[in-house]
Amino acid sequence: MDHAKPLPAYLVQRYHGWKATQYAENSAWYQRLATEGQRPRAMVISCCDSRVHVTSIFGADQGEFFIHRNIANLVPPYEPDGNQHGTSAAVEYAVTALKVAHVIVLGHSQCGGVQGCLDMCEGRAPELEESSSFVGRWMDILRPGYEEVKDDPNMPTALEREAVIVSLRNLMTFPFVEEAVKAGKLSLHGLWTDIGEGGLECYDPKTKAFSPI
């Protein structure tokens, strides 16, 4: 690997600032986290989008949330085919090894991945339909969701919310998730946040709708 570069100077400076303040003031906690291991209460599945910081929204500190972030906060269905499934690995580790009490799927407004899926499903993005498109193949996970909401006038929001529901549904296809949920050891939660308004909505299975918390 000959191409790695030094870290930009402004990040070096900010790191040293963090070390001398946030770290220094909490070093006992960091050391205990290192020695005793993590014991997060919840797993969060969130988007890579730079505008969505779940740690900020929930004031979470080091050690609270086990966080997986991928394009459009998607969970694929259970498929134990021996291939590499990064999201499934993260879910497996959180539920079976860390035994988290909650899995929270957090969707959001203005999601570029969901918009790409919508364009693809409506025939406007042939490049995403090519088998070599990683984003296209990844967003295939949401195709069944598109079928559910394609007539909804409130696009792409409806599909962003559906991405949360699809992920929750797919989570339940994992035997260890289903077992933990049924045993009352794990609860699942679906959220959608509006970036511009700072809104947060929670999925309610009774009304089959999202409502502000």
Give burial (CB, 10 Å; 0-12/13-18/19+) of 69: middle
Interface of this chain with a second copy, residues 43 to 82, rule: CB under 8 A: 43, 48-53, 55-71, 74, 76, 80-82
Task: Give the list of residues 6+ apart from residue 191 with CB closer than 8 angstroms, or none.
Answer: 104, 105, 106, 107, 164, 200, 201, 202, 203, 213
Closer to a second copy by Cβ: residue 4 or 123: 4
Angle between the N-to-C axes of helices 157-171 and 112-121, in degrees from 0 to 180, rounded to the nearest 10: 100
* DSSP codes of every residue in 138-170: HHGGGHHHHHHHTT-SSTTHHHHHHHHHHHHHH
Distance (Å, whole) CA 124 – CA 147 = 16
Of residues 140-159, those binding a second copy (CB under 8 A): 140-141
Which residue, 34 or 151, has its beta carbon nearer to a second copy?
34
Among 107, 145, 156, 190, binds a second copy (CB under 8 A): 190
Whether residue 47 is annotated as binding a ligand: the answer is yes
**Residue from 40, 107, 145, 156 binding a second copy (CB under 8 A):** 40
Region near a second copy per CB under 8 A, out of 117-125, 148-156, 199-207: 199-207
Positions 116 through 135 that interact with a second copy (CB under 8 A): 131-135
* Residue 102 counted as an annotated binding residue: no
Rounded least distance, CB 87 to a second copy, Å: 5
Q: Would you list which residues are annotated within the binding site for Zn(2+)?
A: 47, 49, 108, 111
